[in-house]
Structure 1
Amino acid sequence: MAKISQLFDYHAWATDKLLVYIEKEVPQSFSTQIESVFPSVKETFQHLYEVDCLWYDRMNEAFHNDDSKVLSSPEEYRAAFQELHQEILGFIKDTEDLENLINYRTSNGEKFTNSLEDLLQHLVNHGTYHRGNISAMLRQQGYPGHSTDYIYFLREKE
């Protein structure tokens, strides 16, 4: 149980780290329209936030995502992610058995069953993938990327 909690903590750390970098160093990059996986860094963060909410909603029936939340700045995304990620970390710590099976439906309505641990691992991997997209989008705009590798998280936490 400790390992998935650490991996999720990494996910929260890396997302926050990248948003701080954008907010402080390259705020002009946030809403610039480009050709990439998503049309802007902002829209990539919006997707990441919505998917974190979606998976947490599937894991925790007591959580209900507010789909009407419209975010517009790195600061607003940081606050929203911090609140959500703190709630998820609390959920992980309060869950006795992360091998519990969760029945859920995909956006297409297909039924699946996976363990909580597997769903959390998926959420972390999804975040890593899209933070990589964001780093590429920043470079495409002529800005240096910002490393959010897991090893840097471990070194910073020591």
Structure 2
Amino acid sequence: MLQPSHQLYEYHVWANERLFDHLAQLPKEAFHAEVTSVFPSVSHTFGHMYLFERLFMSVLAGVPNDDIFPKLPSWTEEAQGRTANEMRQLFAGVSGEFRDLLRRTPDPDKAMTIEHPIYGRLDTHFSEILRHVVNHGTYHRGNVTAMLRQQGHAGVPTDYMFYLVERQASI
């Protein structure tokens, strides 16, 4: 049985995969088409999501800010100009690393202190930051759905309930 916070991460991966499967059925231009939204395109939204997957994985791994911040430009660059399938591969790689981190973290509720250069200190727990990762992804998958609808394409349901139903059916 998965830890509840780990199951939420598996939902996050499932929802991203479901969205990538959907994008594979749409015209390739839909991924890079400019729209008026939170981000200028679906590809930019996924680039942002990828950057923050990397960032929060590093935070959860206990990497110091002085080692994380210099990597932000390269993580941003890594995701720019990618096709949907190439972006999917980037997400698959970071998901594998995230799962490895989760396996190496026996206590998902271990206490953590995070120092943010603007917002200050946060005393929290590993599982809280992991929930933030999932919530962040949910928010931006909603952005992607809105962007696709602006372009005349349907979205795809990625609600947690659909994940649970699909998971139950496969057991």
TM over 0.5, shorter chain: yes
2:20: which partner in 1? 19
- For residues 35-114 of structure 1, the aligned pairs below 5 Å read 35-61=36-62, 66-67=74-75, 68-71=77-80, 72-106=82-116, 108=118, 110-114=120-124
Range that drifts further, 104-113 or 125-134? 104-113
Distance 1:82 1:26 in 2: 22
Cα deviations across residues 36-64 of structure 1 (Å, max 9, x unaligned)?
A: 01110100001111111111111103696
2:34: which partner in 1? 33
C-alpha deviation, 1:109, in angstroms? 6.2
Distance 1:135 1:31 in 2: 14
1:135: which partner in 2? 145
Letter in 2 for 1:13: W
TM normalised by structure 2 equals 0.84
Letter in 1 for 2:26: E
TM normalised by structure 1 equals 0.90
Unaligned runs of 5+ in 2: none
> Is residue 20–residue 74 contact of structure 1 (8 Å, CA) maintained in 2?
no
C-alpha RMSD over aligned residues: 1.9
> Is residue 5–residue 93 contact of structure 1 (8 Å, CA) maintained in 2?
no
Cα deviations across residues 120-141 of structure 1 (Å, max 9, x unaligned)?
A: 0011011001101110110011
Unaligned runs of 5+ in 1: none
Aligned length: 158
